[in-house]
Amino acid sequence: MELYRLSISEAKELLDKRKITVKELLNSLYQRIESIDSKVKAFVTLSKDKAYEMADASQKQINEGRSLTIQGIPVAIKDNMCTKGIRTTCSSKILENFIPPYESTVTSRLNENGYVLIGKTNLDEFAMGSSTENSGFFTTRNPWDIERIPGGSSGGSAAAVAADECIAALGSDTGGSIRQPASLCGVVGLKPTYGRVSRYGLVAFASSLDQIGPITKDVKDSAILLNIISGNDPFDSTSAPVAVPDFTKVLGNEIKGLKIGIPKEYFIKGMDSEIEESVKTAIKKLESLGAIPVDISLPHTEYAVATYYVLATSEASSNLARYDGVKYGFRAEGKDLMEIYMNTRAQGFGAEVKRRIMLGTYALSSGYYDAYYKKAQQARTLIKTDFEKAFNSVDMIVTPTSPTAAFKSGEKTEDPLQMYLSDIFTISVNLAGIPAISIPCGFTSNNLPIGLQIIGKRFDEESILKAAYAYEQSTDWHKRKPNL
Amino acid sequence: MRYEAVIGLEVHAQMLTDSKIFCGCSTRFGSEPNTQTCPVCIGMPGVLPVLNKKALEFAIKTGLATNCRISTYSRFARKNYFYPDLPKGYQISQFELPICEHGYVEIIVDAEIRRIGITRIHMEEDAGKNIHEGAGNYSFVDLNRAGIPLMEIVSEPDIRTPKEAAEYMKKLRAILRYLGVCDGNMEQGSLRCDANVSIRPVGQKEYGTRAEVKNINSFKFVEKALEYEIKRQIKVIEEGRKVIQETRLWDSNKGITESMRGKEEAHDYRYFPEPDLVPITVEQKWINEIKASLPELPDAKSKRFASEYGLPEYDADLLTSEKSLAEWFEAAVKAGGQPKAVANWIMGELTKLLNEENKSIEECQLKPKQLTEMLKLMDNGTISGKIAKTVFEEMYKTCKDAETIVKEKGLVQISDESAIEKAVDEVISKNPKEVERFKAGDEKLLGFFVGQIMKLTKGKANPQIVDEMLKKKLA
């Protein structure tokens, strides 16, 4: 049996029944990584010592009959979530040797539920990008075609899940960074409602948009991980004091009578015909399961990308000010303080990060604030209101996750604007703070995965998980594996 | 031409909370560098601030005590600038929606009440400290202070003279100390003051160009720094030049202000709402509770002291300038002391003795009741006023009761007429020339005789009896 292929629920059963050991599972994954990660390049750091230590502890728990929710399950963590004692780089030279003295809330919670940290995955530097090509170290490859990018910024986590280099992973999503790579790699990616999951320990890119979520092999695993990482955290005042249901409970429930909104702004002339066809077929499938498609409009969609790139870069310009070479991380020398600052940041940050810091600094500058930041906040409100209005008449909204399937490495690096448009279908969801999931819904003629995005109401992850599960159970897309 | 100054003060007050404003670290002063820090106040990647509710309560208290409107919806903002003592590269402060607005305090200058408007009070975090000594070509950074809660209290440009500014600072300090929200120590930096100063010809309505004076780090420099700056600006204008908008530093050694940076070098702080903290919503019910819990404030107490104890305004103001001083006074009065006498002793001897040792009233070992008991000994004639000073000093030093001191040192007043007569007779017989001169009309010599008698009786003779008897015998 190829243990590395297992999902969380499958592995959990075998572990609890003592048919396999945690060590066997971990060995299998590390062997898998050894044989293919030189091609995929999903990991920045493998935490082997720590992993085997955690595996031993997990096995002990299992042997004593005290197995926890994900006892012994090896999970990969995007390298922008702090793990105590394990290097956390954000795929940036400026944090290349940063070892956090504290643990993020999400990994603490995984820990409390028995996980095994297999390693830290690659991303676009500070989560800024849609392809991992902005990583300060290397580009991760799409397991379906290693000439292509896996999407981003959580490209390492998505590729690791798709290539069976881990059982599941966590990613973070600021403008589509979980959903777009999940879509491009043919796996399940969920961005929870803003405030559902604590951001404490997630290295901030854009504080008002960032949210951590699971990247998994199937919908059930997504619900399992969401159960663990959700909930109010006293260390994050933006985490909402909202009750957390058991998200696995709704899986398998009927979707009959559910109204699914189809926004016309997401199906436009000239869009990739294979994507359009797959998504429309998926909608038909949902309809055949009893859902009722409703045509809707989200009129301010066209402003989403511009709004996002003003707000996200503004926040980023401030969030990244702390990397100044004074306290931790990379420091370049200089003849005085100003030179140390300039050299440190010039040498420590990559081109895209610098571009966004400059954009954001500009947008917040006195004299420009009203025209950019403030205007963008107003546009954000309009986009949010679009969704609120739509949800008066529908239960969820269905769209493509990404306008294209995985593109070739280097194809868009020369044109940032073209790259920014990769997130055109995912960005509005972050601006509105609502949850959305991407699930596999087909393949292109090149055998590249296509993703279906299901968007839900605030704090209603249950509905989108339920619909995603119903769709997944009636299709086989999620069972396909890349040839590596 | 005659000029008047227009002054507005920005006062930073460190709040007396046990922990920092956005993390659980201690706020204790004087610990080893960087021992009171954690990932949050060091600004590690990924950490988040969480508001200390006590800091919010203290800011609301201060707002209520200075007649401000308390915002039920307020929020934090980021003030962005690079400096090594600012670990995140931004200071979490408040900008557009501060917690308190539109208040005032009243001060008395030259027997006139002046109302100084308070534009706003907002909360923010303090920065750390750069240390340049002993670091060679580098500097050290101590982040113990980073994250200590501050209030910035911004006045309207209602202040017209350096004296008013000093009175305003005194009043503000008294209020903060009454509330227990700040210790008001300017020398240690827990109370800091920046001043916006401009001048204009008397009668002109428009404001002149202002300069901001920073680093006024002691109470006694408030007036001095402002006096200097006003004179400087007048000179600039009278020489036909223009005052430029700039930030100036007060140098207490040289006694002057010096240009630090001009308008063109001014920072663009790129304020924007802090996305890591949810907006602060305060319930009216909580505001009411805080209001109900406020102590009696200096102005109210002063008025009450004047009416209830019949004290002159000057005494009432002075005694209520410090809460603990006022409490000391009231305790002595409650123990039976005559208010004016108690006030005199506190403002005179006690203050003198405390000042000699550079002590505050809180550090005073002497109990109010002990003063009252000494006053009783004066009233019943056991000791004279002159002896009382000796007794009080002894009491202050040893904390023994007045009665014990009087007994131990044999300081009981001699009121026995025959004993006094003996002394009077002796002095008269020993000084025939002086007696002659006195009788010839040199009445000033009475003091001489009294002095001689006191010397003879070691100061214990009842001065009234001595006086009467002398006058009778020399008549």
Interface confidence, given as ipTM, is 0.95
Structure tokens at A358: 């400059």
Nearest Cα residue in chain B from A364: B270
Nearest-5° Cα angle at A277, A290 to A434: 60
Predicted local distance difference test score (pLDDT) of residue B232: 95
Q: Where exactly are the structural domains of chain B?
A: 3-289, 296-409, 417-474
**Residues 6+ positions from B161 with CB-CB distance below 8 Å:** B5, B7, B109
From the list A95, A100, A199, the residue facing B48 with the nearest CB is A199
Q: Which of A322, A331, A365, A430 to mutate to test the interface with B (most CBs of B within 10 A)?
A: A322
Compare A445 and B313 and report the one with higher pLDDT: A445
Predicted local distance difference test score (pLDDT) of residue B406: 72
User: How close A316 gets to chain B, by Cα (Å)?
Assistant: 11
From the list B80, B268, B276, the residue facing A238 with the nearest CB is B276
Structure tokens at A388: 């609120």
pLDDT tier at A268, thresholds 50, 70, 90: confident
pLDDT at A287 over 80: yes
CB-CB neighbors (< 8 A) of B88 in chain A: 321-322
Cβ contact, residue pair A200, B90, below 8 Å = no
CB-CB neighbors (< 8 A) of A365 in chain B: 268, 270
Q: State pLDDT tens for residues A212-227.
A: 999 999 999 999 999 9
Pairing of strands B246-251, B211-216: parallel
How many domains, in total, are found in chain A? 1
CB-CB neighbors (< 8 A) of B50 in chain A: 234-237
Q: What is the 3-state secondary structure (H, E, C) of chain A?
A: CCHHHCCHHHHHHHHHCCCCCHHHHHHHHHHHHHHHHHHHCCEEEECHHHHHHHHHHHHHHHHCCCCCCCCCCEEEEECCECECCECCCCCCHHHCCCCCCCCCHHHHHHHHCCCEEEEEECCCHHHCCCCCCCCCCCCCCECCECCECCCCCCHHHHHHHHCCCCCEEEEEECCCCCHHHHHHHCCEEEECCCCCECCCCECCCCCCCCEEEEEECCHHHHHHHHHHHECCECCECCCCCCCCCCCCCCCCCCCCCCEEEEEHHHCCCCCCHHHHHHHHHHHHHHHHCCCEEEEECCCCHHHHHHHHHHHHHHHHHHHHHHCCCCCCCCCCCCCCHHHHHHHHHHHHCCHHHHHHHHHHHHHHCCCCCHHHHHHHHHHHHHHHHHHHHHCCCCCEEEEECCCCCCCECCCCCCCHHHHHHHHCCCHHHHHHCCCEEEEEEEECCCCCEEEEEEECCCCCHHHHHHHHHHHHHCCCHHHCCCCC
Q: Which of B44, B91, B131, B265 to mutate to test the interface with A (most CBs of A within 10 A)?
A: B44
Cβ contact, residue pair B45, A82, below 8 Å = yes
> Catalytic: A78?
yes
Q: Distance (Å, rounded) from C-alpha A215 to C-alpha A173?
A: 11
B417-474: which CATH topology? Arc Repressor Mutant, subunit A (1.10.10)
Average pLDDT of A365-379? 95
Nearest-5° Cα angle at B303, B14 to B170: 30
From the list B48, B90, B272, the residue facing A321 with the nearest CB is B90
Compare A281 and B366 and report the one with higher pLDDT: A281
Q: Distance (Å, rounded) from C-alpha A145 to C-alpha A127?
A: 22
What CATH number is attached to the domain comprising A310?
3.90.1300.10
From the list B39, B80, B268, the residue facing A318 with the nearest CB is B80
In chain A, pLDDT over 90 holds for what percent of residues?
Answer: 95
Query: What does residue A136 show for φ and ψ, rounded to 5 degrees?
Result: -75, -5
> Catalytic: A153?
yes
Q: What is the DSSP letter of B265?
A: G
Predicted local distance difference test score (pLDDT) of residue B175: 97
CB-CB neighbors (< 8 A) of A326 in chain B: 84, 87, 141
Q: Which domain holds residue A427?
A: 1-484
Low-confidence ranges of chain B (pLDDT < 70): 264, 411
From the list A202, A369, A373, the residue facing B46 with the nearest CB is A202
Predicted local distance difference test score (pLDDT) of residue A191: 98
pTM for the model stands at: 0.91
Q: State pLDDT tens for residues B228-237.
A: 999 999 999 9
pLDDT at A1 over 80: no
Nearest Cα residue in chain B from A101: B39
Cβ contact, residue pair A202, B84, below 8 Å = no
Q: Distance (Å, rounded) from C-alpha A460 to C-alpha A462?
A: 5
Q: Distance (Å, rounded) from C-alpha B120 to C-alpha B70?
A: 10
Predicted local distance difference test score (pLDDT) of residue B357: 86
Nearest Cα residue in chain A from B34: A327
User: How close B85 gets to chain A, by Cα (Å)?
Assistant: 9
**Of A78, A217, A220, A457, catalytic:** A78
User: How close A321 gets to chain B, by Cα (Å)?
Assistant: 5
Q: State pLDDT tens for residues A54-111.
A: 999 999 999 999 999 999 999 999 999 999 999 999 999 999 999 999 999 999 999 9
Tell which residue, A144, A142, A166, has the closest CA to residue A155. A142
Pairing of strands B77-80, B112-125: unpaired
Q: What is the DSSP letter of B366?
A: S
**Of A58, A92, A104, A153, catalytic:** A153
Q: Which residues pair with B69 in a beta bridge?
A: B101
Name which of A46-60, A460-474, B331-345 the model is least confident about: B331-345
pLDDT tier at A326, thresholds 50, 70, 90: very high
Predicted local distance difference test score (pLDDT) of residue A247: 98
Size of interface A-B (CB pairs under 8 A): 102
CB-CB neighbors (< 8 A) of A364 in chain B: 80, 270-272
Cβ contact, residue pair B47, A102, below 8 Å = yes
Compare B414 and A117 and report the one with higher pLDDT: A117
Predicted local distance difference test score (pLDDT) of residue B403: 76
